[in-house]
Amino acid sequence: MSTNSIKSRITFSLFFCFIIPLCTASATISNTKEEVITIIKKVNNYWQSNNSYAVSSFWDRAAYHTGNMEAYSVTGIEAYQTYSENWAKYNNWIGATGTNKSQWKYTYGEGGDYVLFGDNQICFQTYIDLYNLAPDPLKIARTTEVMSYEIASTRKDYWWWADGLYMVMPVMTKMYKLTGNQLCLDKLYQYFNYADSIMYDKDEYLYYRDASYVYPTHTTLSGKKDFWSRGDGWVFAALARVLKDLPLTDLHRSLYETRFRNMAAGLIKIQQPEGYWTRSLLDPAQAPGRETSGTAFFTYGLLWGINNGYLDRSEYLPAAALGWNYLSTIALQPNGSVGYVQPIGSAAVPGQSVTATNTANFGVGAFLLAASELTRLEDITSENTKIADQSKSIFVYPNPATSDLTIMSKSRIKGNIDLFDLTGNKLNSSLIQSEKTTLDISALVPGIYILKANNVSFKIVKN
């Protein structure tokens, strides 16, 4: 870069990302496992300190508890299990309260008779998990009653909206593991096959929220296909959680695996540079800006796929890392709240504002899923462990003014940090020998640049 370029003092806004041309083979998560655990504690302690367990068992509350139970599994913090146990007791270990089976409904509704509606069944996932930790027939009595009734039904259209797949598919596999009843898996396939037939787009490898959103009957304002981020997040996470418990010998396993892999391939192509996915996946202009709940589910699914051998690490880790960096540095607020969560809805809403103060129970649950899965990454760094090469990008803007970057080293190993432009030309290089290093950027014109480090884990702070 010419020294005659703009030399006025400049500032920058930062986001972390892994730039594939420079670091595909060595992309890593910059946090250590210990740091991720600390983040889990910060988020979950904040939520539980500010929200009572004495709330209903409806889907949004229950979705939080799926994340809380994962947080318990990786931290061993008894208070997390106790919080879910107290919630389950408060709800008497049931979902919808209706007792007259002839009145049970599976269409949308929040009354006591909507026992077969998936939003009232997601609580069963946590009830089964708690039962497995400390068996007591009371914990799964209602779960067994409701799901036994449902799998004996001749209906196949129980799951007619994307969210429902996350709500109930993992219940079916957990029930199979609990009972050994093959009908759980047979009906899982039958019900999923119906949902797949009305919502799946074979060209985009994505799911519409429900049949009313299928293109071209429904489009975005600009005439494009409208795939809702959180809706596809529910599906992607559901497939991961099903594959986790599904027997390897299941006759239909290949369908779930294929859908999972294809979704992953489609999703990494439409991730935003900052790490999030926009609310309308193929039309960012429909509802532009950050969104956390869909992003957290996608990040969880990518990490799970990598950890369990379904997704190629070199291809998918950069996207998972980018998603995690968004979650941990932008969505996560200083007080421990999780921001930029789109409020309850069913689509990307044009003109709807989603900000750092927008949080929700289901969004926190999704964040905890992603963070918990990250701790299982095979080579996530531990304290004092040598760090692989990595890259982070910076945006440089002209106002207000500053002239350098402060780079904080997070390891005790010495190494170089190099500055590149997007064509791969090295512009500057510094030897990191201490905790704090300053890099002169006064000669840079506004644009995107890449910092590439060797043997050190680092973060960037504003001056």
β partners of residue 332: 338
Domain ranges of the chain: 1-28+387-463, 32-374
pLDDT at 383: 41
Element (H, E) at 61: helix 59-75
Helices (H), 180-292: 182-199, 229-245, 253-267
Which pLDDT score, from 0 to 100, does residue 409 have? 65
Q: 137: how many CB neighbours lie within 10 A of its CB?
A: 8
| Distance from C-alpha of 143 to C-alpha of 158, rounded to nearest angstrom | 16
What distance lies between CA 399 and its chain's CA centroid?
34
The reported pLDDT for the residue numbered 392 is 64
pLDDT of residue 28: 61
Residue type, 317: L
pLDDT at position 183 is: 98
Q: Which residues of the chain have pLDDT under 50?
A: 1-27, 382-389, 399-401, 412-413, 462-463
What pLDDT was estimated at residue 247? 93
Please give the C-alpha separations between residue 329 and each of 147, 226, 326, in angstroms, as whole numbers: 40, 28, 5
**Residue type (1 letter), 273:** P
Q: What is the pLDDT of residues 77-126, one digit of tens each?
A: 999 999 999 999 999 999 999 999 999 999 999 999 999 999 999 999 99
Looking at the domain 1-28+387-463, which fold is it?
A: Jelly Rolls (2.60.120)
Question: What is the structure's pLDDT at 378?
Answer: 82
What pLDDT, on the 0 to 100 scale, is given for residue 73?
Answer: 97
Q: Are 383 and 412 in contact (CB under 8 A)?
A: no
Q: What pLDDT, on a 0 to 100 scale, did the predictor assign at position 11?
A: 27
3-state secondary structure of 352: coil
Query: Backbone dihedral region of 431: left (phi > 0), alpha (psi from -120 to 50 degrees) or beta?
Result: beta
User: What is the per-residue pLDDT for 394?
Assistant: 64
Largest CA distance in the chain: 80
pTM: 0.79
Q: What distance in Å separates the CA atoms of residue 178 and residue 439, rounded to the nearest whole number? A: 58
Give the right CATH number for 32-374 from 3.40.640.10, 1.10.10.10, 3.50.50.60, 1.50.10.10: 1.50.10.10
Predicted pLDDT of residue 419: 78
